[in-house]
Amino acid sequence: MRSLLLLATFVFWVPPLQAVIETYEFESVQMEADYKKLIDELRCLVCQNQNLSASDADLARDLRRETYEMLQEGKSPQQVVEFMVARYGDFVLYRPQFKSNTYLLWLGPFLLLLLVLYLLVRRLRAANKPVEVDAAAMAEAKHLLEEKEPGK
């Protein structure tokens, strides 16, 4: 019985899951929403393809704490983003800002689309254009055709 109990302990014992998200208390629903949005959009520098909310890296935890504390102090989400970018660069943002060195990034796909549309229209127009043949060539062709006809 005792060994059975022991076995059951090992079978059913679930190690306390290390909560990736610390439980923070928020003063308002808005602040909590801001916090969640921020940690979803900020990148964890250590594990590069995870955002802060998904990462269990030490630094991610620290940056979540920083985010939380800044919001608690009454800072705006924009200020939190500026704080992170000043320290870690644009790379922390999963959604790059729209500014001079990201114009190509944001507008590139549309520019490519315009280019392809232009090429497509040009090609279609060329295909539909009636073939122009100059009068002299036409006359010669007619002449050749007529000449061949009797000899047939």
Partner 1 sequence: MNRFVLPLAVFVLMVGLLGYGLRLDPKKVPSPLIDKPAPAFSLAMLDDPSRQLSTADMSGQVWVLNVWASWCVSCRAEHEVISLLANRNLVTVVGLNYKDEPADATRWLKQFGNPYATSVIDRDGRVGIDWGVYGVPETFVIGADGMIKYKHIGPVTHESLEKKIMPVLKELLS
Binding site for partner 1 (CB under 8 A): 45-46, 48, 58-59, 62-63, 66, 85-91
Q: CB count, 10 Å around CB of 43? A: 21
Cβ distance to partner 1 smaller for residue 5 or 86: 86
Cβ distance to partner 1 smaller for residue 120 or 144: 120
| Minimum distance, C-beta of residue 31 to partner 1, in the bound complex (Å) | 21
Coil/strand/helix, residue 42:
strand
**In terms of Cα–Cα distance, which of 42, 106, 112 is closest to 70?**
42
Residue with tokens 């010669």: 140
Rounded to the nearest angstrom, the gap between the alpha carbon of residue 47 and the centroid of all alpha carbons in its chain is 17
Cβ distance to partner 1 smaller for residue 9 or 49: 49
| Minimum distance, C-beta of residue 51 to partner 1, in the bound complex (Å) | 14
